[in-house]
């Protein structure tokens, strides 16, 4: 049941506990308690809104994906380094990777220059960072399973047997 | 001047036009209505299935297939029937790939019923059974199913309807439009009546994957019924593949052999592209079906809850993707209800009478729509019902 609640919320976090309760055939109080519990356990970590900033007049968001190679720290491994990386407000996501580099860091800034300065002045100088490679995002087509520019029209016949 | 009415076969021209078609024309004129009227999924065909279809086109696999269908697909269908419903069919002699489930209805009817024969058709039900029986020259006999029996067919009603002329029983479960299902005990009671006869069952199981809480049971799996049953199903509903036009028929070898013959001379074969895509659906589609089914189930509960809260009796459907609420409390007939609702609130639903006379007093609402679309439509229906409730 928990997974079903999560699948519903993952697609639409605005569903109320009452609505979810009806949809999965449970009592509202049970659903409310479960959501609370999952929030406490950090299974549900937040309720964000997916925004396509390109469609606003405030198109001052630049996203960059940084490949970071680091030296893991004795006794702490990568976790300690990750902590140093994710504390910055500019950093939106940090993933530990397999393969040719260690971390993917996703950064948002107002301008390319701002992002470049951040990498040059904050990230790269960190003691454990060996090298960085910065890739700017030019256009977002799909994020978190949602296709951005798609106009979905219901083309089915309006009445059919 | 040719009088075509004198030329065309009266048996054919006398078949009344589909009640759905009539309503479709009205809705179409409205233009901006929102609809709960469709009988097909709102999901796109899963991409990996579409991609196999595209790949087959890239490979130039655009030729006819064997009349009965691509052997690999028939083998996959038989493996699927074993896996899902514990039914064993031999791919080479007991399976046929058809152009949608609908072609299967036509083939089976043409083979099993002719002039002088009676075909029992439980109603309310899908619109094609009666016309297909008539085109075959037979006489369809409606069997009224009732809300108080959960729209299931009872052995008593069946026994009362059987005459020496009865050749075929259509078994349309899970049911469009009521959402009713038949459970194992119900089918056993039906089987007990039929085992004493030579009546053949055309079991239309196109919604078999879409049941909620209870797994679908095929009458062919009941003792003594395997040899009396043609199972019809297809890819349209479970895999959201309506436009691919692909279904299948399974049954006793001598019957399938003759159905293949009709199909061979009338249709040649089902579309090849669709068949190649369907192989992928059978092999790797179980997860898609489960996810779609979960989503339908959520919307089903939402719909039933809303209709009951607005004061309409609503039978709890256990299959397909329709609810069939009773609108008698408004004092309106089905068609008047639908036309007034369309005019006043611009919502299209289908009158129950489109599925048989006994559908009077009911409307069919499809929940093959996003939850947001359903919310909007039900707001409007609620406003309407509050205004007209007697």
Cα A116 from chain centroid?
A: 21
Please identify among residues 194-253 of chain B the ones whose CB lies closer than 8 Å to any CB of chain A: none
Instruction: With cut-offs at 50, 70 and 90, classify the pLDDT of residue A74.
Output: confident
Instruction: Reply yes or no on whether the pLDDT at A59 is more than 70.
Output: no
Q: Would an 8 Å CB–CB cutoff place B329 in contact with chain A?
A: no
pLDDT given at position B248? 98
Question: Contact, B19 vs B127, CB < 8 A?
Answer: yes
Reported for B284-287, long-range contacts at CB under 8 A and 24+ positions apart, including other chains, are: B284/B48, B285/B46, B285/B49, B285/B238, B285/B239
Q: Would an 8 Å CB–CB cutoff place B187 in contact with chain A?
A: no
Our CA-based measurement puts residue B166 at a distance from the nearest CA of chain A, in whole angstroms, of 27
Enumerate chain A positions whose Cβ falls within 8 A of a Cβ in B.
4, 7-8, 12, 15, 19, 22-25, 154, 156-161
Which chain A residue's Cα is nearest to B294? A4
**Mean pLDDT, chain B cut into blocks of 10 residues (390 residues total):** 94 90 84 90 97 97 97 98 97 98 98 98 98 98 97 98 98 98 98 97 98 97 98 98 98 98 98 98 97 97 96 96 97 96 95 96 97 96 94
Instruction: Reply yes or no on whether the pLDDT at A151 is more than 90.
Output: no
CA dist B95 and B252 (Å) reads 9
Annotated domain spans of chain A: 2-40, 53-143
pLDDT, one tens digit per residue, over B224-265 is: 999 999 999 999 999 999 999 999 999 999 999 999 999 999
CA dist B271 and B100 (Å) reads 10
Report phi then psi at B319, rounded to 5: -155, 175
pLDDT, one tens digit per residue, over A21-49 is: 999 999 999 999 999 999 999 999 999 88
Asked if the Cβ–Cβ distance from B39 to A160 is below 8 Å, we say yes
pLDDT given at position B149? 97
Name the residue among B18, B35, B371 with its Cβ closest to that of A161. Answer: B18
Question: Contact, B42 vs B372, CB < 8 A?
Answer: no
Asked if the Cβ–Cβ distance from A159 to B299 is below 8 Å, we say no
Place of tokens 């309760």: A21
Contacts of A106 by beta carbon, 8 Å cutoff, 6+ apart:
A63, A64, A65, A66, A91, A92, A93, A94
Name the residue among A24, A156, A159 with its Cβ closest to that of B20. Answer: A159
| Four-residue CA torsion sign, B292, B294, B296, B302 | negative
Region class of B191: left (phi > 0), else alpha (psi between -120 and 50), else beta: alpha
CA dist B131 and B102 (Å) reads 12
Chain A CB contacts of B35 below 8 Å: 158-159
Report phi then psi at B121, rounded to 5: -125, 105
Give CA separation, A136 vs A15, A22, A161, B294, in Å: 35, 44, 50, 39
**The model's pTM:** 0.92
Asked if the Cβ–Cβ distance from A159 to B38 is below 8 Å, we say yes
Our CA-based measurement puts residue A137 at a distance from the nearest CA of chain B, in whole angstroms, of 26
**Residue A142's CB: how many other CB atoms inside 10 A?**
10
Instruction: Specify the fold of A53-143.
Output: Alpha-Beta Plaits (3.30.70)
Cα A138 from chain centroid?
A: 18
**What is the end-to-end Cα distance of chain A in Å, rounded?**
34
Q: Would an 8 Å CB–CB cutoff place B135 in contact with chain A?
A: no
Instruction: Give which of B185, B143, B132, B135 is closest to B166, Cα–Cα.
Output: B143
Contacts of B291 by beta carbon, 8 Å cutoff, 6+ apart:
none
Mean pLDDT for chain A?
Answer: 92
pLDDT, one tens digit per residue, over A119-135 is: 999 999 999 999 999 99
Residue B174 structure tokens? 């899970």
Instruction: Reply yes or no on whether the pLDDT at A150 is more than 80.
Output: no
pLDDT, one tens digit per residue, over B335-367 is: 999 999 999 999 999 999 999 999 999 999 999
Place of tokens 């054919």: B12
SS3 A160: coil
Chain B CB contacts of A15 below 8 Å: 371
CB pairs under 8 A between A and B: 54
Residue A101 structure tokens? 């580099």
Instruction: Specify the fold of B4-44+287-388.
Output: 3.90.1150
Per DSSP, the residues of B343-365 read: HHH-EE-EEGGGG-GGGTTBEEE
Determine the length of chain B. 390
pLDDT given at position A149? 78
Asked if the Cβ–Cβ distance from A159 to B24 is below 8 Å, we say yes
**Residue B318's CB: how many other CB atoms inside 10 A?**
23
**Residue B375's CB: how many other CB atoms inside 10 A?**
14
Our CA-based measurement puts residue B294 at a distance from the nearest CA of chain A, in whole angstroms, of 8
Asked if the Cβ–Cβ distance from A23 to B302 is below 8 Å, we say yes
A4 burial class (0-12, 13-18, 19+ CB within 10 angstroms)? middle
Our CA-based measurement puts residue A3 at a distance from the nearest CA of chain B, in whole angstroms, of 11
Determine the length of chain A. 161
pLDDT > 90 fraction of chain A, expressed in percent and rounded: 71
Query: The CATH number of B47-283 is which of 3.40.50.300, 3.40.640.10, 2.40.50.140, 3.50.50.60?
Result: 3.40.640.10
Question: Contact, B169 vs B198, CB < 8 A?
Answer: no
Q: Give the pLDDT mean for A2-14.
A: 94
Reported for B12-21, long-range contacts at CB under 8 A and 24+ positions apart, including other chains, are: B12/B134, B12/B135, B14/B134, B15/B131, B15/B134, B15/B135, B18/A161, B18/B127, B18/B354, B19/B127, B19/B351, B19/B353, B19/B354, B19/B355, B20/A159, B20/A160, B20/A161, B20/B127, B20/B350, B20/B354
Chain A CB contacts of B354 below 8 Å: 161
Annotated domain spans of chain B: 4-44+287-388, 47-283
Our CA-based measurement puts residue B102 at a distance from the nearest CA of chain A, in whole angstroms, of 11
**Residue B135's CB: how many other CB atoms inside 10 A?**
16
Instruction: Give which of B91, B98, B110 is closest to B268, Cα–Cα.
Output: B98
Chain A CB contacts of B371 below 8 Å: 12, 15, 23
Instruction: Give which of B238, B289, B240, B235 is closest to B98, Cα–Cα.
Output: B235
Name the residue among B298, B299, B350 with its Cβ closest to that of A159. Answer: B350
């Amino acid at each position: 049941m928990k997974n079903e609640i999560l699948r519903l919320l993952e697609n639409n976090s605005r569903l109320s506990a009452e609505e979810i309760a009806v949809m999965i055939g449970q009592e509202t109080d049970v659903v409310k308690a479960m959501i609370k519990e999952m929030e406490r356990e950090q299974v549900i970590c937040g309720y964000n809104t997916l925004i396509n900033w390109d469609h606003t007049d405030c198109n001052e968001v630049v996203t960059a994906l940084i490949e970071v190679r680091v030296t893991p720290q004795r006794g702490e491994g990568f976790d300690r380094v990750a902590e140093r990386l994710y504390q910055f407000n500019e950093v939106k996501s940090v993933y530990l990777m397999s393969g040719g580099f260690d971390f993917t860091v996703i950064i948002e800034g107002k301008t390319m220059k701002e992002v470049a300065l951040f990498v040059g002045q904050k990230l790269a100088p960190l003691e454990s960072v060996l090298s960085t490679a910065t890739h700017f995002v030019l256009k977002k087509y799909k994020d978190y399973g949602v296709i951005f520019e798609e106009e979905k029209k219901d083309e089915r016949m309006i009445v059919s047997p | 001047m040719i009088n075509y009415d004198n030329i065309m076969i009266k048996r054919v021209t006398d078949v009344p036009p589909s009640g759905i078609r009539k309503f479709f024309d009205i809705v179409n004129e409205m233009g901006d209505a929102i609809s709960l009227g469709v009988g097909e999924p709102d999901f796109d065909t899963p991409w990996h299935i579409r991609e196999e279809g595209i790949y087959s086109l890239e490979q130039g696999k655009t030729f006819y297939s064997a009349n009965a269908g691509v052997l690999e697909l028939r083998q996959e269908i038989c493996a699927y029937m074993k896996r899902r419903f514990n039914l064993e069919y031999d791919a080479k002699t007991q399976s046929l790939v058809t152009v949608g489930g609908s072609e299967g209805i036509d083939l089976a009817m043409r083979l099993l019923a002719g002039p002088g024969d009676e075909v029992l058709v439980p109603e309310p039900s899908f619109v094609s059974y009666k016309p297909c029986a008539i085109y075959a020259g037979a006489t369809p006999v409606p069997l009224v199913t009732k809300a108080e029996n959960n729209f299931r067919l009872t052995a008593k009603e069946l026994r009362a309807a059987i005459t020496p002329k009865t050749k075929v029983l259509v078994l349309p479960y899970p049911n469009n439009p009521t959402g009713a299902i038949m459970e194992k005990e119900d089918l056993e009671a039906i089987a007990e009546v039929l085992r004493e006869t030579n009546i053949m069952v055309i079991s239309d199981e196109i919604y078999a994957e879409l049941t909620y809480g209870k797994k679908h049971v095929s009458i062919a799996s009941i003792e003594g019924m395997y040899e009396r049953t043609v199972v019809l199903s297809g890819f349209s509903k479970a895999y959201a593949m309506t436009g691919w036009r692909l279904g299948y028929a399974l049954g006793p070898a001598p019957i399938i052999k003759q159905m293949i013959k009709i199909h061979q001379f009338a249709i040649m074969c089902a579309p090849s592209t669709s068949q190649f895509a369907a192989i992928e659906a059978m092999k790797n589609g179980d997860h898609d079906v489960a996810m779609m089914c979960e989503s339908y189930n959520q919307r089903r509960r939402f719909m039933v809850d809303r209709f009951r809260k607005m004061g309409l009796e609503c039978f709890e459907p256990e299959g397909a993707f329709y609810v069939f609420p009773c609108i008698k409390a408004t004092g309106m007939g089905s068609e008047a209800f639908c036309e007034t609702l369309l005019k006043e609130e611009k919502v299209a639903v289908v009158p129950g009478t489109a599925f048989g006379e006994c559908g009077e007093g009911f409307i069919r609402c499809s929940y093959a729509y996003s939850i947001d679309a359903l919310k909007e439509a039900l707001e409007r229906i609620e406003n309407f019902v509050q205004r007209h409730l007697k």
